[in-house]
Amino acid sequence: MMRLPLFEFRAPRSIAEAVRILDGEGPQAMPLAGGTDLLPNMKRRQQVPKTLMSLNRISELHGTELNDSSSRLGACVTLSEIAADSRFCNGMTALAQAASFVATPQIRNMATLGGNLCLDTRCNYYNQNYEWRKSIGFCLKKDGDTCWVAPGSSKCMAVSSTDTAPALMALGARVRLISRLGEREVPLAELYQNDGIHYIRRQPNELLTEVLLNPLPGWKSAYWKLRRRGSFDFPVLSVAAAARLSANNMVEESRIVVGSVACLPLVAAEASKFLVGRPLNQDSIAAAAMLAARIAKPLDNTDFDMTWRKRVTAEFVTYALRELRGDDMRGERLLLTRHSSGF
Ligand SMILES: Cc1cc2nc3c(=O)[nH]c(=O)nc-3n(C[C@H](O)[C@H](O)[C@H](O)COP(=O)(O)OP(=O)(O)OC[C@H]3O[C@@H](n4cnc5c(N)ncnc54)[C@H](O)[C@@H]3O)c2cc1C
Ligand code: SF4
């Protein structure tokens, strides 16, 4: 049985108290939300905080407000709550889909939006127990000095594996970060950076308190995910697409984001720009899919063959864009759920 290392436990009741604790304890303290990622990581000694600070009792982090002028989702809203909330439809469908595709129902009941956005990056050489990692001399990301994926590299290339970040980036979301020194609002797309170790620009003394969304009238969005087991696994390729469509289905604005093929979710800017002013027809979808797929650079450190993951990226972008224009995609969805492992 893998046991948790010893740690101190704090359970503040307000954001103000929480950021005082983070400030006082320094980087040795980590926020604990649902614990569905952090606690297994602690058992494997990938993350060993001296202090765990539970966010569970902070009521300010739990609410969701959706209205015509703006929307906010508290960091501790659970993924089950998002997946089951019928208000996340039309413009925000991608978010509900992404939340509903994370892990299993039991995990989604505990897992929070904030935890999903701050999720640690993943790699086949890192997501192993302590003894396994020790047997290869560990790796750059934790306790070692070699990257086993690219031994000549001084940079870790562990993969961003969050489902909701690509979806929220396609929706143009921002996040609020609060520390004892003040607060800042950051476009979600700017929260991440291309480094498997320092993948997030959140400072250790900052708490992610909420996700903010502008109103999305006329927008449609969709999220597609590749994983081995259709009802369980982390994504190894994902595509979120959102577009504002005119009455005659012309694209007025669009955002395509490709996830789980790099240390951060990648904005497919060229493909998004290409679609503007065009109808979503077979030709424009095929061209945008090719452009978006170009940016995907999967490595050999997650599930499935990396060249195959690269190759099917265009197909996943096609699925997402076809869903936006209103095609009935239930057959393709079902096929993916049932036969992911057969691809
Ligand atoms: C079997 C299994 C399958 C999984 N499958 C998926 C999957 O398919 N897709 C996926 O995206 N994830 C998956 N996960 C990972 C995890 O369950 C989810 O990402 C979940 O949303 C994490 O949220 P949490 O609240 O449990 O985070 P925690 O585990 O509590 O925290 C995760 C990280 O975020 C930090 N953190 C949490 N909240 C905040 C905050 N408000 N401010 C600052 N930092 C914060 C923590 O310090 C920690 O570093 C899986 C996990 C398991 C065990
Ligand atoms: S990419 Fe390299 S350094 Fe990063 S977790 Fe994998 S093996 Fe370790």
pLDDT digits (tens, 9 = 90+) for 83-136: 999 988 878 999 999 999 999 999 999 999 999 999 999 999 999 999 999 999
Do 208 and 198 form a contact (C-beta atoms < 8 A)? Answer: no
Asked whether the predicted pLDDT for residue 260 surpasses 90, the reply is yes
- Whole-number pLDDT of residue 137: 97
Task: Give the max Cα distance, the chain.
Answer: 61
pLDDT, tens only, 137-163 = 999 999 999 999 999 999 999 999 999
Asked if residue 280 belongs to a domain, the reply is: yes
Residue 103 is assigned to a structural domain of this protein: no
Residue 341: the pLDDT is 42
| CA of 118, closest atom in ligand 1 | 34
| Ligand 1 atom closest to Cα of residue 116 | 21
How much is the pLDDT for 339?
Answer: 52
Run of H or E including 109:
helix 105-110
pLDDT at 19: 98
Cα separation, 178 vs 19, whole angstroms = 7
CA 327 to ligand 2 center in whole angstroms: 40
- Rounded distance from Cα 36 to ligand 2 centre (Å): 21
Query: In the prediction, which pLDDT does 231 show?
Result: 79
Residue to mutate, 46, 128, 133, 148, ligand 2, most ligand atoms under 8 Å from C-beta:
148
**Over residues 32-52, mean pLDDT:** 98
The answer to whether residue 314 is domain-embedded is yes
Domain assignment present for 170: no
Tell me, using a 6 A CB cutoff, whether residue 74 lines ligand 1: no
> Does residue 239 lie within any of the structural domains?
yes
**Interatomic CA distance for residues 184 and 193, integer angstroms:** 18
Does any ligand 1 atom lie closer than 6 A to the CB of residue 157? Answer: no
Higher-confidence residue: 339 or 90?
Answer: 90
* pLDDT attached to residue 338: 64
Within a domain: 32: no
Residue type, 252: E
Q: Which of 2, 37, 47, 199 to mutate to test the pocket of ligand 1 (most atoms within 8 A of CB)?
A: 37
Question: How many angstroms is it from 320 CA to the middle of ligand 2?
Answer: 30
Backbone region of residue 143 per phi and psi (left: phi > 0; alpha: psi in -120 to 50; beta: other values): left
Q: What is the pLDDT of residue 143?
A: 96
Specify if 82 maps to a domain.
Answer: no
For the segment 325-343, the average pLDDT, to the nearest whole number, is 77
Using CB distances shorter than 6 Å, the residues near ligand 2 are 123, 125-126, 139-141, 147-149, 156-158, 196, 301
Give the residue, out of 122, 128, 132, 141, with the most ligand 2 atoms within 8 A of its beta carbon, to mutate for a pocket test: 141
Which CATH number is 298's domain given? Answer: 3.30.390.50
State the Cα–Cα distance between residues 55 and 38, nearest whole angstrom.
13
pLDDT tens-digit map of 160-201: 999 999 999 999 999 999 999 999 999 999 999 999 999 999
> Residue 340 above 80 pLDDT?
no
Q: Is residue 278 part of a domain?
A: yes
Q: Over the stretch 271-329, which tens digit does the pLDDT of each residue have?
A: 999 999 999 999 999 999 999 999 999 999 999 999 999 999 999 999 999 999 999 99
Q: Burial letters for 174-205: b for 16+ Cβ neighbours within 10 Å, e otherwise?
A: bbbbbbeeeeeebebbebbeeebeebbebeeb
* Residue 328 domain boundaries: 220-342
What's the rounded Cα separation, in Å, for the pair 239 and 94?
10
**How many distinct structural domains can be found in the chain?**
1
